[in-house]
A and B are shown apart, each in its own frame.
Chain A
Amino acid sequence: MADEKVIHVTDGDFETTVLNAELPVLVDFWAAWCGPCRAIAPMIDELASEYDGKVVIAKMNVDENSSTPGKFGIRAIPTLILFNKGNVVDQITGAVGKAMIETALAKVL
């Protein structure tokens, strides 16, 4: 994706970058073969710009990283999990509208 505001996380840096983060982090678990994941990708980029400095927007490719999705019981994508201080605040499965994601983000702002 063109937007540099979205960060890409892996099994290796998940703890440092997401669980131990100062700011809340929304992680988009996705894969290239998932149509709905591609559908929400532009919206995820938009959110990353709009919430810059308030919420970190991250993506994890489940094809390349299996241990983190396994740990959070993810068996469907796209799944968005909102973390704050290492805790799961909200979890959304499926391609949903921006309003629904913003409602979730409001819980940590």
Chain B
Amino acid sequence: MKSDTLVIAGGGPAGLTAAIYACRARIPTVLIEKVSPGGQVLITDRVDNYPGFPEGIAGYELVDRMLAQAKRFGLEQRNGEIISVQPPARSGEPVKISLADGETIEAGGLIIATGASHNHLGVPGETELAGRGVSYCATCDGPFFNDAHVAVVGGGDTAVQEAIFLTKFAKRVTLIHRRDQLRAIKLLQEEAFANPKIEFVWDTVVESINGTDKVESLSLLNKKTGEKSTISVDGVFIFVGIHPNTQFLKGTVEMNQWGFIKTDEEMRTSAPSIWAAGDCREKPLLQIVTAVADGAVAAHSAELSMGHG
């Protein structure tokens, strides 16, 4: 690989948009993705806040379209997992990117768009019963719970939106939240409160997920009263926030306490020739629209810096 190449790490909306802009600027661009392009959008049943799709659009369809668009302008893709990055010691030198398979790539610039992954609850039973009633993807697994009783854990946008989605299949959805009110946007709250299939359990955390071959019940603790209880469910969908996929950059670029990468307005990180875009970056609003905007800005900044501008 020539060292005037721009490497984009991650194929979600931020990475794909950076690719569209970089390819159109005729920068040799390679997108490295661990599994395949998509990111968190892939598990979103419907995206209703991305402008230009008045009826909403399925997450996977939006990603398919972004990928097709990047390919149209000549995007090169490869599979790989980045395990470490070494920024140039002095200007004119390449960024060195080490992959899990032992290969090291030299690049003229690197845009980090590795996004974020969902958090686990970290309670007994969660790992053991994953895929057997414990789920992190309502659009994937919802249809297995026809006429069933499922719990949703969380109180943010994702938890509430997916609880509403699950009422298409489940006869009853119990939303369990550790606070006494939802954090989700008002529109979603209104929809959830108006839905007769959704009930709410407030101030409560899940202490364990129980069952032998499949999820059978949850042990709950009310944080306010200290009262413990058990609720029978057929499945539990967990949406308790995200963490940035930036562990491999620890010590390489500056991050905040949660591991989100700090950047300036041009998406430059603290290390030369390295930019960050999308959900892995510290910013006030993690959304598809802000991810694509980051991607464009990062590609433009890289273009200027790499001498293509």
Task: Identify which of A2-10, A13-21, A39-47, A48-56 touches chain B.
Answer: A39-47
- Of A39, A75, A78, the residue contacting B235 (CB under 8 A) is A75
**Contacts A75-B135, A75-B214; A36 near B140 (Cβ below 8 A):** yes
Contact of A76 among B35, B41, B130 (CB under 8 A): B130
Distance of A93 Cα from B141 Cα, bound (Å)? 11
- B133 and A75: CB pair below 8 A? yes
In the complex, chain A residues whose CB is within 8 Å of the CB of B219: none
Contact between chains at A35 and B214 (CB < 8 Å): no
Closest chain-A Cβ to B269's Cβ sits at a distance in Å of 25
Distance (Å) between the CB of A35 and the closest chain B CB? 3
> What 1/0 flags go to B123-135 for Cβ under 8 Å of A?
0000000111101
Known contacts A35-B60, A94-B131, A97-B34; A76 and B140 CB within 8 A of each other: yes
- Whether A35 contacts B140 in the complex (CB less than 8 A), given A40-B35, A75-B214, comes out as yes
Q: Which residue of B lies closest to A92 (CB)?
A: B131
- Nearest-neighbour CB distance to chain A for B76, whole angstroms, equals 15
A33/B34 in contact, CB under 8 A: no
* A35 & B43 in contact (Cβ 8 Å cutoff): yes
Q: Let me know if B309 is at the binding interface, CB within 8 A.
A: no
Q: Which of B44, B101, B139 has the most CB of A within 10 A?
A: B139
A residues less than 8 Å from B101 (CB atoms): 99
B interface residues, tally (CB under 8 Å): 33
B148 to chain A: closest residue by CB: A75
**Alpha-carbon distance between A96 and B145 when the two chains are bound, in angstroms:** 23
Bound Cα distance A94, B140 (Å): 10
Residues in chain B near residue A94, CB distance under 8 A = 130-131
Cβ of A89 within 8 Å of any chain B Cβ, yes or no, is no
Decide if A36 touches B43 in the complex (CB within 8 Å): yes
A85 at the interface (CB under 8 A from B): no
A77 interface residue, CB < 8 Å from B? Answer: yes
Contact A73 B213 (CB under 8 A): yes
- Asked if B56 CB lies within 8 Å of chain A CBs, one says no
Tell whether B115 is near chain A: CB-to-CB under 8 Å: no
Is A75 a contact partner of B63 (Cβ separation < 8 A)?
Answer: no
Complex-state Cα separation, A37 to B139, whole angstroms? 11
Asked if A95 is an interface residue, CB under 8 A from chain B, the answer is yes
Cα-based distance from A93 to B132 in the complex (angstroms): 9
Residue numbers of A with Cβ under 8 A of B are 31, 33-40, 42-43, 63, 69, 73-79, 91, 93-99
7 contacts between A and B (CB under 8 A): A33-B58, A35-B44, A36-B43, A36-B137, A38-B64, A96-B35, A99-B81
